Amino acid sequence: MAQRRESSGDEVSLFPFLSILACLIGALVLIIVVLVVAQAGKAEGRTPDEIRMAQDFQRMKKELEERKKLDVILKEKLAELEKLQKQIDETQQRYIKLRKLLDSSKEVQEQNKEISQKLQKELDDLLTEIDGLKIQQTETKKEIAALMAEIKKRQVSPDKKIPPVVVQPSGSGMTDETKVYFVECSSGGLKVLGAWGEDYRLGATPSIVVADVSYNHFLTEVAKNKNSLILFLIRDDGQGAYNTGAGRAENDYNIRTGKLPIPGRGVLDLALFDKYRGKIPPPPATSSAPATPAPKK
């Protein structure tokens, strides 16, 4: 039977140290577990309430963006609607005006028709006059070229003054009540001499003489006085212009006319006719061409 070994002296016990070490290790393990669990909770995100609030915020933000887009679309639609309303109002106003025009009396309709015909006739006269002016322009250019060639041929100095041509009364058919008006006739056309204070030149083609507003105004005013006389002063090359101008005055306006040949190219001196010369008002600035009188039978 074994016997207990006798102690050789005092012995050291390690049990208390190991117990404390085990308790410390357990506490550390517990702390680590708690920290891991807490960290895991943070890694997963927010709490359910926070997640719900975040989702609500995102939804509201999306709704606000959609509302902004809708606001832009709404403003565009409102502008388009305003534009359409304006067009509707303008269309209604035009409709009302046209309706009033259609519902106007017969007299107003006839008046509008007369104005339209008058404007159309004025347009036709202007077109005719333009055509005549183009023809007259071509003829004038030819005449200018011929005159320049003649001047060069004769070597006439430009500074040389041509003596004036004194026009004298013939002594027949002239009374104190006679009112005389002068029209110069040349190949370049007709020139009304001072009938309303200044000279007026026009082409001598039939289309121009018929349609010219100022010349027809001149003939209309002269025809009002039975004692009037238009004296046509005919240059060497003005017979054709005289036939056109005088024919218009005699045949369409029943005006008494006379003619007087003028030799040379000098300036006309009409001082001897001062007491006989008549005056008429100037043609209106925006006058319409008078209606062509019916030719005499």
Confidence band of 154 (pLDDT split at 50, 70, 90): low
> Any idea which residue has 């000279």 for tokens?
199
pLDDT digits (tens, 9 = 90+) for 192-220: 999 998 999 999 999 999 999 999 999 99
**What's the confidence (pLDDT) of residue 53?**
74
**Mean pLDDT of the region 159-187:** 78
> CA–CA separation, 252 vs 115, rounded Å?
24
Percent of the chain past pLDDT 90, that is, above it, reads 28
Phi, psi of 119 (to 5 degrees): -65, -40
Confidence band of 78 (pLDDT split at 50, 70, 90): confident
Q: Which two tokens stand for residue 216?
A: 């027809």
Report the range of poorest mean pLDDT among 7-11, 22-26, 55-59, 86-90: 7-11
Between 156 and 74, name the one with better pLDDT.
74
DSSP string, 75-130: HHHHHHHHHHHHHHHHHHHHHHHHHHHHHS-HHHHHHHHHHHHHHHHHHHHHHHHH
Report the range of poorest mean pLDDT among 70-79, 93-102, 273-282: 93-102
**What's the confidence (pLDDT) of residue 215?**
95
Cβ atoms of residues 252 and 293 within 8 Å: yes
**Mean pLDDT of the region 90-119:** 67
Question: Strands, E, within the chain: which ranges?
Answer: 165-166, 179-186, 189-193, 200-202, 228-234, 257-261, 268-269
Residues facing residue 232 across a β-bridge: 183, 259
Confidence band of 287 (pLDDT split at 50, 70, 90): very low
Question: Strands, E, within 131-285: which ranges?
Answer: 165-166, 179-186, 189-193, 200-202, 228-234, 257-261, 268-269
**What's the confidence (pLDDT) of residue 254?**
94
* Sheet strands side by side (includes 228-234): 200-202, 189-193, 179-186, 228-234, 257-261
**pLDDT at residue 10 greater than cutoff 70:** no
3-state DSSP assignment of residue 181: strand
> CA–CA separation, 124 vs 290, rounded Å?
13
Confidence band of 108 (pLDDT split at 50, 70, 90): low
pLDDT digits (tens, 9 = 90+) for 15-42: 677 778 788 888 888 899 888 877 766 5
* Nearest residue to 201 (alpha-carbon basis) of 241, 256, 143: 241
**What's the confidence (pLDDT) of residue 106?**
60
**What's the confidence (pLDDT) of residue 285?**
74
**pLDDT at residue 290 greater than cutoff 70:** no
Q: Are strands 189-193 and 179-186 parallel, antiparallel or unpaired?
A: antiparallel
**pLDDT at residue 9 greater than cutoff 70:** no
Name the amino acid, one letter, at 249.
A
| Cβ-based neighbour number of residue 48 at 10 Å | 8
Q: Share the mean pLDDT of the chain.
A: 77
* Nearest residue to 167 (alpha-carbon basis) of 280, 278, 279, 274: 274
